[in-house]
Amino acid sequence: MDISLPQKDFLALTDFTREQLTALLDLADDMKRAPAEYRTALTGKSLGMIFHKQSTRTRISFEVGMYQLGGAALFFSPSDMHLSRGESISDTGKVLSRYLDAIMIRTFAYEEIVELAQHATIPIINGLTDYNHPCQALADMMTLREHFGTLAGRKLTYIGDGNNMAVSLLFACIRMGMHISIASPPNYTITPKAMEWILDDAEKNNLEICLTDNIEEAASGADVVYTDVWASMGQEEERKTRLHDLADYTVDDMVMSFAKPDAVFMHCLPAHRGEEVSASVIDGPRSIVFDQAENRLHLQKAILYGLIQ
């Protein structure tokens, strides 16, 4: 299956149309079904991976993905590069463009990735920022297609902090024709700026976006219930406050009862049982969290292939 992404970079899901994202999902499905057909697809190609945040799934899935496609992946922590000593993002991008075929970066500020993409001449992939997490959200769409067959008209409910995961799920759902409701305490809802990116799409396609602090309202009739940790990397000093403020937003069996009888539970991991989700839910029969984790590999192989084949 042949596909080339029209954009040079993979920074945000709002940069792509539904048709383009669907083509990526189709490719990821094909790679999962017939991995042997792609073993030499990126032979001789190299991916640089810059990590300013710790990682399990992102690092391993990209590294293994490049290996399975015949290429090589190089890991860089801040201390491995002169970025930690003040070298500019622009100079780094220009230099690495002379050595590599693509860069995946996992960092804090989204603006850093945008700046890197502006100065690099090779594709830049957003492995996560404090603003968004497009690779995870699109892998989630792949997982839901596998489970339900279709996405259009389904409803996803996100419960908890309106963080980077909530923003990317909002983008993914509206792009793929899904309704979305987000239940958060008033001070933890997603930013109005994030809403601006997608409101026109929602209106044109008669899709519902519900932002509320009422969990039952949000989860009623949901096909999917999703949550994430309450204190992400970089928010450790806020952890005690966040655990207090979000204490009523645990996804437990009662919350799942508000959703449809065949609704599934999702979490991007790592998870803290007893905080944002009960053990009975994440370890129960409705949980598909490990399918999500696996599909990071297949989806990211599709992104790599689409950008640097």
Catalytic residues: 106, 133, 136, 228, 268, 296
Question: Is 57 marked within a binding site?
Answer: yes
| Angle in degrees, 0-180, between the axes of helices 134-148 and 164-175, rounded to the nearest 10 | 50
CA 175 – CA 167 distance, rounded (Å): 12
Half-sphere exposure in the Cβ direction for 276 (13 Å, CA): 25
Which residue's structure tokens are 């997490």?
Answer: 133
CA 45 – CA 23 distance, rounded (Å): 22
Question: Is 133 marked within a binding site?
Answer: yes
Question: Is 136 marked within a binding site?
Answer: yes
Q: Read off the tokens for 284.
A: 């129960």
* Contact between 230 and 161 (Cβ < 8 Å): yes
Bridge partners, 277 (sequence order): 251, 273
Question: Is 269 marked within a binding site?
Answer: yes
Question: Is 228 marked within a binding site?
Answer: yes
In the chain, the amino acid numbered 202 is: A
Question: Is 164 marked within a binding site?
Answer: yes
Question: Is 184 marked within a binding site?
Answer: no
Annotated binding site for carbamoyl phosphate: 55-58, 106, 133-136, 268-269, 296
Annotated binding site: 55-58, 106, 133-136, 164, 228, 232-233, 268-269, 296
Annotated binding site for L-ornithine: 164, 228, 232-233
